[in-house]
A and B are shown apart, each in its own frame.
Chain A
Amino acid sequence: MKIAILLKQVPVKDATLELSGDNTWIDEDDVQFEINDSDHYGLAEALNIAKANDGEVTVVTMGPDRVKDSIKQALAKGAHKAIHIDDEEMSSTDPLTRAKVIAEAIKDENFDLILSGLQSDDFGYGQTGVLIAEILGMPHATLVVETEILEGKIKVKRELEGGWFQNAELPLPALLSIQSGLTDIPYATIKGIMMAKKKPVAEVDADDLGVDLDTGAFKLQKIYTPVKSKETVVLDGDADSIVSQLIDKLKNEAKVL
């Protein structure tokens, strides 16, 4: 069984982020990166399914050279091989374009199952996986909390809102985004770390895939830190005067009376 896990690299959680000069991204110079938190759960599920079904897990990661560290970590945690889609320029932040690039890079691999995490910690669109499924013509399910491989299909349990769950069966090949917390996340072992060096990592250049990287359909205009919009006002005076000030504000400013 051939399983792919879409794994993204994002800035570390406690990084102090500075905006880049053109205000469209962060200044990456002093920032460290790590595997996107929810992708750990996708990887864990991929490894579990592979273990139970004699499968092979391929890590698929798009990004500049620095993402190789995250690829190596995933290999040390047990993935079998990797595809690095080299995108040195970080040419597009548009989830559709990125989905097209990834779909193009992996379409000939004929994966039986493609897994992703829930969403990325940087942009948080949560769309890339679903879009890839559409492009590759696969069924997909999001927020998956349980999986069971059956003959030629997969049974999944999805977590809905308000404590509801949904059970569904999807024919394979299929794409799932895995809900965080589904299973224990995997850790590297010394043996895994030593073996990771020898595992194959295929390099694909994003520019060579024939996908238009600059469609202009999606434009990131500006990133900015939240502007302070709330202000606390302390009402002074004796009790009577405070009460009348408060009534005035509730009537005329908050307009709730």
Chain B
Amino acid sequence: MASEYVSLQNIKFLLHDVHRVEDLMQYPLYADYDGDSIDMIIDTLKELADEYLFPYLEECDRFEVQYENGKVKVHPQILKVMQMMGENGWIGAPYPVEVGGMQLPHMVAILNEYIFAAANNNLNGYPSLTMGAAGLIISFGNEELIETYLEKMLTGKWQGTMALTEPQAGSSLSDITTIAVPTYAGHYQIKGTKTFISAGDYEGIENVVHLTLAKIEGAPAGAKGISLFVVPKSRVGADGKLQPNGVATAGIFHKLGQRGYVTTQLALGDDDNCHGYLVGEPHHGLAYMFQMMNASRISVGSHGAGIASAAYHASLEFARERTQGRRWNDRDLTLPQTEIVNHPDIRRMLFMQKAIAEGGLSLVLQCTRYEDLHAVSDGEEKEKYYLLLELLTPLVKTFPADAGIQSVSHGLQVLGGSGFCEDYPLEQYYRDIRIMSIYEGTTGMQSLDLLGRKVQLNKGLAFKLFLGEMQQTMAEAADMPELQKYAGQLKSEVEKLVGVTKHLGKIAATGDIELFLADATPYQQMFSLVAIAWQWLKQGITANKVLQAQEKQGDDLKFYQSKLHTLKFFYVYELPKTEALAAAITSGENLTVLKDDDLLI
């Protein structure tokens, strides 16, 4: 078992120095917070993760969730985590004080997700989903829903879920068939099947509240006909007591990873007695659900970065202890073997892990900063932050997931044969992180969203604003002799990205949408590399300022030197990969679009 999974120094560097969380405190919404209280919050989250999550990482995986006679048995620690998170106010933390929250900036709240996912990605989802589901009720629910559900969910007594996916409708939610029939009593009768529902049911929890997408009988086809309902496992009867609500758990899924995080198949209304309570207006359900989905996408990004961080720490620890072979310039075989951390190939893999984990977290904090600034600003400013966040959401979901998988794979490789075995956590991290590219919209769907919608958002204004943000960073870096070269490199990468975007724009103008979108994923990968390079340049600027001041010593000094070194590593080893992606996208060969003859044989 590795001893560490995140670096508090890195978290605080990114939060305070690079992304300047203190800027938010000039706004009344966040005025109660200051740097000190935020550090105490971060320290407390780490203490909680050390106590409640990290020690159970392996157990949650080995003692997989069980399903017997319609009942789901999970690791008992889940109930303890839910109780602790509820009683200590963490589930409601980002919500307004009036509804029992603490108005915690999103930049800080997301670190809860990050630290907990790094500590144990089998446990953090339970409170996290409850938080998101409660958020929908706060934003769009009527007084009765708030009265009935909110307090129970925010205190961790009732679990929340998002119930979207159906067997025939995963990526394509407009094809859901769960039906909602209005009744004279005011509620709806719900009938349908929901699949892959996380935290959908488990023994010991008082109730599970499914925020469910369904179509009201006679609704228009497609996304415009989708409504949002609260469908509880047990409904509150006239006597105030809980009674079964026709939500049956038909089974659970046995998975590659996250084996302690239950994924359920739900049968709604098989007994024609499943009440659903409409949230907000009919037919607006998907738009409402996007509030939770957008937040969840940033969360998934933070989870990917978190697991990548845990894997990095575990690999580094191993590489510092394991001795094997000698350095190639030391051929004296009577010398003891060297620690593998001294071999360039191992160092390459470790720097790659670090570059992805810390670059990914930086992008997560950048996005939540936009989210917070959006919450406190008005007019054009508000629109600006909205557009930036919309544009970056598919990237912040996808990069830490996809590149995170690669980085954990490198981390496993660092351990050699031990990486493949259960004695070390790398094989579990490798399995656990794999889902990040699939749920909350697959990488493919995120890429389509980026190219097909976000880049063109508001006639391309979102994209332009993003270029402006990068421009600012490049200008600042260009004034620093140590960073000039990298500012220049990023500038030409940005030009390349703009060129490729224009090339694709021309294809879109021909009306051949399938061809236009065919290479959405390579485009997203290219875009992500540029966005992460931007984040590394930002970190480099901050680190360089500290180094120039010459006030740091010892491990502190090394921290900043390591930041600059990792920036260089990213620019030398990762960023140039855009060249191959751009070449494929602009080749004009159209090798993936289905022609008359299918050559996939």
Chain A residues within CB distance 8 Å of chain B: 30, 72-73, 76, 187-191, 193-194, 196-197
Q: Does B102 contact A (CB under 8 A)?
A: yes
Q: Within the assembled complex, what's the spacing in Å between the Cα atoms of A194 and B421?
A: 45
Alpha-carbon distance between A72 and B44 when the two chains are bound, in angstroms: 12
Chain B residues whose C-beta falls within 8 Å of the C-beta of A190 in the assembled complex = 41, 88-90, 93, 102, 104
Q: Identify which of residues 529-571 in chain B touch chain A, using a CB-to-CB cut-off of 8 Å.
A: 553-556
Q: Is the CB of B41 within 8 A of A193?
A: yes
Report the minimal beta-carbon distance from B305 to chain A, rounded to whole angstroms.
23
Contact of A187 with B37 at beta-carbon distance under 8 Å, contacts A30-B554, A30-B555, A194-B32 already known: no
Chain A residues within 8 Å of B89, by CB: 189-191
- Residues of B within 8 Å of A196, CB to CB, are 37, 40
- Asked if B494 is at the interface (CB within 8 A of a chain A CB), the reply is no
Complex: how many Å from CA A193 to CA B43? 11
Q: Check A193/B32 contact, CB under 8 A, given A30-B554, A187-B88.
A: no
B47 part of interface (Cβ distance < 8 Å)? yes
The answer to whether B88 and A189 have CB atoms under 8 Å apart is yes
Query: Would A187 and B102 count as touching, CB distance under 8 A?
Result: no
A-side interface mostly: helix
Find B47's partner among A30, A72, A187, A193 (CB 8 Å cutoff).
A187
Is A191 in contact with B40, judged by CB distance below 8 angstroms?
Answer: no
- Measured CB to CB, the closest approach of chain B to A14, in angstroms, equals 8
Q: Measured between C-beta atoms, what is the minimum distance from A157 to chain B in Å?
A: 25
Q: Write the chain A residue with the least CB distance to B47.
A: A187
**Chain B residues with CB under 8 A of A189:** 44, 88-89
Q: In the complex, which residues of chain B have a beta carbon less than 8 angstroms from the beta carbon of A193? A: 37, 40-41, 44
Q: Report chain B residues within 8 Å CB of A187.
A: 44, 47-48, 51, 84, 88
Residues of B within 8 A of A (CB): 32-34, 36-37, 40-41, 44, 47-48, 51, 84, 88-90, 93, 102, 104, 553-556
Nearest to A197 among chain B residues (CB) is B37
Contact present for B88 and A194 (CB under 8 Å): no
Closest residue to B34 on the A side, CB-wise?
A197
Closest beta carbon of chain B to A53's beta carbon, Å: 21
CA distance A162 to B48 in the complex (A): 33
| 5 residue pairs from A and B, CB less than 8 Å apart | A72-B40, A188-B44, A189-B88, A194-B102, A196-B40
Closest B residue to A184 using CB positions: B51
**CB-nearest residue of chain B to A14:** B3
Tell me the complex Cα distance, A196–B93, Å: 17
Q: Closest B-chain residue to A77, C-beta based?
A: B44
B104's closest neighbor in chain A, by CB? Answer: A190
Distance, CA A156 to CA B102, complexed state (A): 39
Q: How far is the CB of A180 from chain B (nearest CB, A)?
A: 15
Output the least CB separation between A187 and chain B (Å).
6
The residue on B at minimum CB distance from A188 is B44
CB atoms of B102 and A191 under 8 A apart: yes
Contacting pair B88 A73 (CB below 8 A) = no
Residues of B within 8 A of A197 (CB): 34, 36-37
Bound-complex Cα distance A7 to B41 (A):
21
CB distance from A247 to the nearest CB of B (A): 34
Chain B: which residue is nearest A76 at the CB level? B40
Which of B34, B47, B90 has most A Cβ within 10 Å? B47
Which partner residue on chain A sits nearest B4 by CB separation?
Answer: A14
A194 in contact with B37 (CB, 8 Å):
yes
